[in-house]
Structure 1
Amino acid sequence: MVKADRRNYSGKHRHHGLHLLALTDEKGRLIWISAARPGRTHDNTAARHDHILAHLRAAGLGALADLGFRGLDNDVRDPVIVTGFTATRAHKLTPGQKTANRVLATGRAPVEHGFAHLKNWRTLTKLRTDPARATHLLGALLVLTNLEVNR
C-alpha cells in the first residue's frame, strides 16, 4: 500500500502533492500549464527544466512572477521575469521598492484570478498520482477552465 493511500493521510505537506507552472495573459486567462512535477520541486527548478526564460525571451514576452522566482532572471538590462523586493531584519525596503511591490501586486492580481479559476475544479486538492498522469489531467483542466471562463 502506498503512503498516500492510507486512511489517515495528511495532505498538508507539499512534498506529497504536485507542482505546476502556468502562464496567463494580462486579463488572467490561462494560456499554458507546465507538466506536473513532484510537489517538492522549487519554482526556479521547474522553470529551468521547462526553459521558460528562453521561451519568453525568444517570443519577446515578459512575465510578472511572485517571489518564488527570485534569482531566475539576472539580466538587469533586459529582464524577462519581474519579481518584487523582499525585506530582511537588516535591510528595510525603501519607499521606491514598496511602491514597486504595490505596482507588481496590482499587475499580478489577474494572474491570481486565473489560478483561482483552475483551483475551482478542486480535483487538484487531493490528487496523489504519478506526475505524468497528472499532466494529462492538467491539459484537460486547462481546456475546461477556458471554456468555463469564456462562457
Structure 2
Amino acid sequence: MRKKTSPAEGPEGFVYQCRLSLSSATVNMVADLIRGHLRKIGSRWRKLTPGKIAVIVLAILRHDQRLCDMAGGNDVSASTVRRWLLEVVGLLAARAPRLDRALRKITRKGGVVVLLDGTLVRTRRRTGDENRPNYSGKHKVHGLLFLALTDEKGNLVWISAAKPGRSSEITAARHNKICAKLREAGLGALADLGFVGLDDDPDDPVIVTGRRASRGHPLTKAQKEANRLVSRERAANEHGFADLKNWRILTKVRMNTRHATTLLRALLVLTNAEVSR
C-alpha cells in the first residue's frame, strides 16, 4: 500500500489511513510464508505481491478491518481478500507448536515450571440450538473456551483446541492430558482454583493450585499466604492472554470450533513473533 503524504482532495479522493502497529520482522515473516506457499503450489502470479498481501491480512487480523474496505483500497474483490486471509491463517496455524514439543522446548531451555490458565473468547450470539453449548454460565456470555500455557515470563507457548463455552477448564485439561504431558517433560505447572483436583497424584503433584475455603473450614493464615504467592507467580499468565487479545479480530468471532482453533493458533504464532520477554 502506497503511503499518502498529502491530504486527499475532491469527493472521490478521500483516503482512510491506519497505522499497522506491527514490526517489519512480523510482516516479512508472513510474506516469506506466502512466497514459499506460492512456490510449493506452482502459482505463477497474484494480483498483488506477497508483501502487500501480508500487510492486508495483518491489518484485518490486527485492526479488524472490513474485507470490502481492504479490497476496494487495493483494486481487488472481497472474495479475493477472504481467500488470502484463509490461506495465510492456515499457513500460520500449521507452525503452531504441539503440546509435547512446546514442553520439551521449555525443558531444553532450563525451565522448570509453566503457567496454566483458561480464557473465554466471546462469540457473537446466534439463534438456534447449535449455539446453546457456547453459553458460559460462569461469564454469562456466549464464547469458546481455550486453555493456554505460558512460560515464567508470560510468553505463550501453547494453546488448546476450542471447546464450547459451557465446558469447564478442568475437563478441557483432562481431555488434553496435560498432567501426563507435564510428567513426561519433567515440568510443573501453576494454576488457579479452577484446576483444583486436576492432578490425580497428590503424593507427587505436577500442578500446584491455591487452597479453596469450604463452608465451616476457612483458610488459615498460612494457606492465604500460599494463595497470594501462587497468584503473584501466575500474574505473568495474564500478560500472555492480553497480548493474544490485542488482535482485534477476536472481538467478533462468529465461527465453529474448528475454524476458531485455526485462527487462535495462527494468532499464537504472530504473537510469539511480535512479543518476546
What is the TM-score normalised by the length of structure 1?
Answer: 0.87
Runs of 4+ in 1 over 6 A off after TM superposition: none
| Structure 1 range deviating more: 110-119 or 27-36 | 110-119
Instruction: Note if contact 1:63-1:81 (Cα within 8 Å) is conserved in structure 2.
Output: yes
Relative contact order (C-alpha < 8 Å, sep 6+): which is higher?
1
Cα distance in 2 between the residues matched to 1:86 and 1:28: 25
Residues 106-137 of structure 1: CA distance to partner in whole angstroms, max 9, x if unpaired?
11011111111112223334323110101100
- In terms of Rg, which structure is larger? 2
- Mapped pair 1:47 → 2:168: no
* Equivalent residue letter for 1:71: G
* Equivalent residue letter for 1:22: A
Consecutive unaligned residues of structure 2, counting only runs of 5 or more, are 1-123, 128-134
**Shift in Å, 1:77:** 2.0
- Mapped pair 1:61 → 2:187: yes
Write out aligned runs for 1:3-14 (5 A). Answer: 4-5=125-126, 13-14=135-136
Residues 11-64 of structure 1: CA distance to partner in whole angstroms, max 9, x if unpaired?
xx5273100000000000000000111111101110111111110111111110
- The partner residue of 2:236 within 104, 110, 120 is 110
Instruction: Note if contact 1:17-1:128 (Cα within 8 Å) is conserved in structure 2.
Output: no
Cα distance in 1 between the residues matched to 2:174 and 2:182: 12
- Mapped pair 1:88 → 2:220: no
1:10: which partner in 2? Answer: none
CA-based RMSD: 2.1
- 1:28 is paired with a residue of what secondary structure? coil
1:22: which partner in 2? Answer: 148
Consecutive unaligned residues of structure 1, counting only runs of 5 or more, are 7-12
1:76: which partner in 2? Answer: 202
